[in-house]
Amino acid sequence: MKKSMVYTKTGDRGTTSLVRGMRVSKTHIRLDAYGTVDELNSYIGWLSCEIKESDHRDFLRYIQHKLFTVGSYLATETESKEPKPASIISEKDISRLEEQIDMIDGNLPRLNRFVLPGGNEAAARAHICRTVARRAERYVYRVAEKFPVADEVLVFLNRLSDYFFVFARYESNKTSEELFWEQGDI
């Protein structure tokens, strides 16, 4: 089998291909959306390097796989083509994420103040994932203003920021280093 080329030179003039071949500008809103999803995926990989428990690392890997699904969906010309089955986020995917959120949150102390990002290395990385997930969600909503986007994609991205919030709290509480916003002078 011949090795594929890393560079194709097809994007040298500021365009790229969506799934199934349509050429669009590299400034197209779809690229902002799936590029931010890809950025989130990279940050999750970085977060995973700090996580010791295999069940949490495995769940982060699950999220990474689902983000490739989301990216594939966003790169599909949904206005004219049905996404491939491998590009579909399902209610089951959302439920699995919600179950993980509930499980983690159920073991955390009650929250009555605003949390500051940080606390320890893993928590800080999870907060970065949370904020990038929120940005990705905003970009996907911009895509949805012009092109069809399945509700499940939007809900999944919304739940991801919730997941990373509770996961950051979980990691902070392991070392009793959760940080809170102090109103007024400190």
Render pLDDT for 30-85 as a digit per residue (tens, 0 to 9).
Answer: 888 988 999 999 999 999 999 999 999 999 999 999 999 998 888 877 676 776 66
Does the residue 67 lie in any domain?
yes
Alpha helix stretches (DSSP H) within the chain: 29-48, 54-74, 91-105, 121-144, 151-174
Does the residue 171 lie in any domain?
yes
Tell me the C-alpha to C-alpha distance, in Å, between residue 101 and each of 4, 77, 127, 170. 40, 32, 15, 11
Does the residue 22 lie in any domain?
no
The count of other CB atoms within 10 Å of the CB of residue 20 is: 11
CA distance 119 to 109: 15
The percentage of residues in the chain with a pLDDT greater than 90, rounded to a whole number, is 54
Predicted structure pTM score = 0.85
Q: What is the CATH number of the domain that holds 154?
A: 1.20.1200.10
Total count of domains within the chain: 1
Does the residue 9 lie in any domain?
no
Does the residue 81 lie in any domain?
yes
- By the 8 A CB rule, do 153 and 70 touch? yes
Does the residue 96 lie in any domain?
yes
Render pLDDT for 154-165 as a digit per residue (tens, 0 to 9).
Answer: 999 999 999 999
CA distance 88 to 109: 35
Type of residue at 41 = N
pLDDT the model gives residue 186: 60
pLDDT at 17 exceeding the cut of 60: no
The percentage of residues in the chain with a pLDDT greater than 70, rounded to a whole number, is 79
Q: Provide the residue count of the chain.
A: 186
Q: What is the mean pLDDT of residues 172-177?
A: 81
Does the residue 19 lie in any domain?
no
pLDDT at 18 exceeding the cut of 60: no
The range of the structural domain enclosing residue 140 comes to 28-107+115-180
Average pLDDT of every residue of the chain: 85
Q: Please, how many CA atoms are within 13 Å of residue 53, restricted to the half-sphere of its CB?
A: 9
Does the residue 145 lie in any domain?
yes
